[in-house]
Structure 1
Amino acid sequence: MFLCHNSKDKQDVRLLAKLLLGQGILPWVDETGILAGAQFVPEIERVIDQAPAVAVIVGPHSMGPWQKQEYYAFLQRFVEHRSEQGRMRLRLIPLLLPGAPQPEELPPFLRGFNWVDFRDRGLEDRPELRKLVNAILADANTKTRG
């Protein structure tokens, strides 16, 4: 699970990563996912190409320049691979942090997805956390039942 975020929202992203770990989900965050001595861009590209799910996180600082590039790459992957058989479809999940702009201010393509909204009750909002976890696990559960 890739956590695509603005570095200015890192504090909330760290908390979200901790909450996901508590739910048995391994989040990928750049500061822990890229080893010392590794090159930043190739590592990000590798994860973007392989991650089964991405949370595009929008917080009070909106989307940052690097985050936008990651989002565009994930959106391209989503469109290109959604109909390919034998390739796992990417789960793209918009996530709104407390202080995030209104959904209509999201990028136009991102508005078309159902989002997880932590704006009212913060990251401790259990129903929204459950909604996120269910979305992340949806494809894995479908494949194990089929």
Structure 2
Amino acid sequence: MEKYDVFICHNSQDKPEVGKIKSSLQSQGIKTFYDEDNLIAFKKWKKQLQDHISEVKAFLVFISNNGTGPIQHEEIDFFLKEVLPKNSEIQTGLVILRNTVEGIINTVKNSYPEFKDFHYCDFRKEELNSMNKLILAITGREPESQSIITQPKSLTKTPQQPPHADSISLEGIDYRELTELLSESKWEDAWENANYLTYKLMLNAVGKTQEDQLTKEDVKDFPCTDLYKIDKLWVEHSNGKFGFSIQKEIYLSVGGKPDGIFNQSIWRKFSDLVGWVGKDANGCNFFYDSEEEFTFDISAHKGHLPVLIEDYQEIIIDIFARIEACPQFNKDPLKLLNSHLGFQPDTSAIKAVEIINSLPNI
């Protein structure tokens, strides 16, 4: 297997800019692994990526306003879990592409705290100097020529747009990648990647990283706007087949109550309807407890996804209770108004007017 100096981990949407940087690195004699250039046809692409990640001298993660892509997530996870612990000498860090907003960088760092320990290369500053610094960091020497490093005019004329306000929640969570995955759910692994990303985004929404677990306490105070956003994306892109609110409807249909109290009998009925139950070799039923047992496909039972693999039996019951408490899921306009005004959900219209009138003029 041919060995490379650098593995370029990037979002496919960033190929125009990343490709130019790759060419500049190659012009300095740096052997770069770049998927569309170096993947061999008719061989398993995931194994090829992992094999090369394990052998390179430097693993560079390129970040832009497009966020990190689903394949990029897999590459980063493999590197941090399987490669970096065994080879502390490997060079790694973030390469920040032009016009990237701080919120995106912070999201990536929160998702992968390991990168907080490494200084990053910032192309938002003067590009020629940034390219020189990148080459120096990889090779330990100044670039031989600077004429090939400048960015093409076509790139500088069309800067990346910052994320739309609707894609960033009040907690600073960026939902563009989840939207992209669910909208491209016809592709292989899209549903599974979306399910994985959903859990990670939920951890981020409560200030945790992917190394943590979502607890009952986290769910009880989970941000309603984020829960509603996640659920809405799943419901819309599955045509009403998947989503927490869909699961809640099924749970209520078998006699469940959205009170956060686990009932074994109700759980059996619910799990059977959403397809979370299998049969062992003796024909006995058992509840799924590993990722391989679930079906990440639109052909799955209604309500089958999303599934939070870690302690999902208890967590999902608490999510149903949280949905019940969140006004965004309630179509009662008075409760929605009370929520926006900061009043209790059951505050009457007359009482709300009295409270507003009692406020001092500003």
**Range class of TM-score, shorter chain:** 0.7 to 0.9
Structure 2: any 5+ residue segments left out of the alignment?
A: 1-5, 141-362
1:46 correspondence with 2:51: yes
> Which position in structure 1 is the counterpart of 2:90?
90
Give the Å deviation of 1:43: 0.6
Q: Spell out the pairing of 1:64-75 with structure 2 (5 A cutoff).
A: 64-75=69-80
Under a length normalisation based on structure 1, what TM-score does the superposition of the two structures give? 0.80
- 1:36–1:52 CA distance, 2 compared to 1 (3 A): same
> For residues 30 and 4 of structure 1, what CA distance do their matches in structure 2 show?
9
* Contact 1:20–1:27 (Cα < 8 Å) also in 2: yes
Structure having the higher Rg: 2
> For residues 28 and 101 of structure 1, what CA distance do their matches in structure 2 show?
27
- Alignment RMSD, CA only? 1.5
Give the Å deviation of 1:106: 2.6
Q: Which amino acid aligns with 1:81?
A: N
Residue 33 of structure 2 aligns to a residue whose secondary structure is coil
> Which position in structure 1 is the counterpart of 2:100?
100
> For residues 78 and 41 of structure 2, what CA distance do their matches in structure 1 show?
24
> Which position in structure 1 is the counterpart of 2:40?
35
> Which position in structure 1 is the counterpart of 2:139?
137
Q: Spell out the pairing of 1:115-126 with structure 2 (5 A cutoff).
A: 115-121=120-126, 125-126=127-128
* Contact 1:5–1:57 (Cα < 8 Å) also in 2: yes
> Which position in structure 1 is the counterpart of 2:145?
none
Give the Å deviation of 1:45: 1.0
> Which position in structure 2 is the counterpart of 1:21?
26
User: Identity over aligned residues, as a percent?
Assistant: 26
Give the Å deviation of 1:67: 0.4
Match for residue 61 of structure 1 among 43, 66, 80: 66
Give the Å deviation of 1:37: 2.0
Deviations 1:65-92 (A, max 9, x none): 110111122222213322xxxxxx2110
> Which position in structure 2 is the counterpart of 1:143?
none
Match for residue 6 of structure 1 among 1, 4, 11: 11
Q: Which amino acid aligns with 1:57?
A: F
Residue 68 of structure 2 aligns to a residue whose secondary structure is coil
Give the Å deviation of 1:52: 0.9
Give the Å deviation of 1:128: 1.1
Deviations 1:99-145 (A, max 9, x none): 32313333232232100000234xxx22211211122124xxxxxxx
* Contact 1:58–1:100 (Cα < 8 Å) also in 2: yes
Residue 128 of structure 1 aligns to a residue whose secondary structure is helix
Match for residue 130 of structure 2 among 128, 131, 138: 128
Give the Å deviation of 1:26: 1.6
1:78 correspondence with 2:84: yes
How many pairs were matched up? 129
* Contact 1:100–1:119 (Cα < 8 Å) also in 2: yes
Under a length normalisation based on structure 2, what TM-score does the superposition of the two structures give? 0.34
Deviations 1:11-47 (A, max 9, x none): 1111111111122212110001112222211110110
> For residues 71 and 78 of structure 2, what CA distance do their matches in structure 1 show?
11
Point out which structure has higher relative CO (alpha carbons under 8 A, 6+ apart): 1
